[in-house]
Structure 1
């Protein structure tokens, strides 16, 4: 009897121990609440274990002897403010929006940064968000202060071309006209009677005379040509009075009388200027004609042609006198 009681007590002790162990082991499999509420459950030690934070939610509460766990919020944000984003450029602005760096490009063709006025160029943004330099014909240079020049862009470079002749301008406070060479000439006349000089006329408020030493008005040379002055040397003429030089020679106005033998004023390349006739060319119109057995030597002298009888070398246009009888040799 005594031995049976001892056995029974021993078995009960073993079963009791197994029961408690199993109960403690199974506690670890009990579900732990999740979600954004941060709820907690009791631990076997009498404290509380903080609940796991839900997706994007805050960590659960903490009890006595509790361990806190915070949620990940769906990943770390790319930025917290604009300083975390790339630096702005002339054509691209960066900002931190909803935790992400976002860029905004300046529209293509818009100015990029400060411009340099008057250099005929512009810095603009292109379609790739970059700045570039382009020609700008509207960015003309500053006025150079000359009323007879313009301010333009020429191939991307500043330029100041002369205004056309006759353009109105002011000269020393008086009305004037541009001369086409960048000079403002004061108005000289309103009518021909206001001018003096040979055949003087008033053209575009400027006096034009045929003896003022200038090619002006509609003159084609200095003090010659045009509708008011006599013809220039080289112009076709019929009478000496047609020419400003008063010399009409060989059908053209000439710089001199040009009456010497083997000289002419219509030599190709020198029309209007008295010049030597080419070698082997006759001069039948000279006061002392050079023709027949003679011809010009190209140096203004009349000499014997080849085959003509001679007595000295210098008498021949070829410079050779020989044979028997003597004749000019080729």
Structure 2
């Protein structure tokens, strides 16, 4: 049996949590209405603003990335028309969420196929009363990075709000919330930031504040977060151990330097892609000139001679966890995450084990 403390996980989240962050979780509880929490929240907020490259308001919610997605939609949409773009599982989630709060206009592609900007513009011009566009920047279900800056520019051209899921890109890729014109951006704790799951953060522009609905869901009411932030608090009881962990994780990001962290993510992903090509395997996404392979997760078509379940089981026996495909991609692709605080040596270990497994099956 593999010792869980020695297991190496290369998933599209959650990511391995380094001992320094694990120790932070065990800190004694504090008064979440007191001065210590206020100081911690100020550190967290300032660090997130630097990582998101924004001067907008930033709030941390005790909930996963999906909580942030729903907070964004539910504070902007109440019966309004919204364009939700999807080429993967999490784009589909945006469509689902948007459909619960408003009149969703879906622009759907086959999972892993690139978004076409002409299609976006065509829908925007056809649907004259749209209020917003929602899109996933980095779609981990199929390893593709979508053209967020270009879609944001279309939204601004037509005076629409732009909501961006940056859950698996912010902190590991060059994301510029203000420069791109993102009205609400979302990041998850358990991805590139390297913290445990359970928290998300949203950055909210002044344009978004001006167009928010009345009476959004109580727990995700962003106006309540804005009001409480003025006192250095959250409106509802925060998940304190996870805040301790996020505080420490963000300190690590700051110590490494954001640009260096982004370069490391790029390097680790290129190591995986180079190995895949060297072995004669095929990357999954179909790219166009405005999309790219993700630098936080690589999706690979499963070759003849081995199944995804067999591959995952055999590398699992060596103490390594990788991901398979989701829903209709199950059994067709496998995925290797390269986000958080993973280092080159970790990826080298995984690639060595993968190559040996594939060689033993006569695949490479």
Normalising by structure 1, what TM-score? 0.18
Higher strand residue share: 1
Higher helix residue share: 2
Normalising by structure 2, what TM-score? 0.16
Q: Which has the higher contact order (CA 8 A, sep 6+)?
A: 2
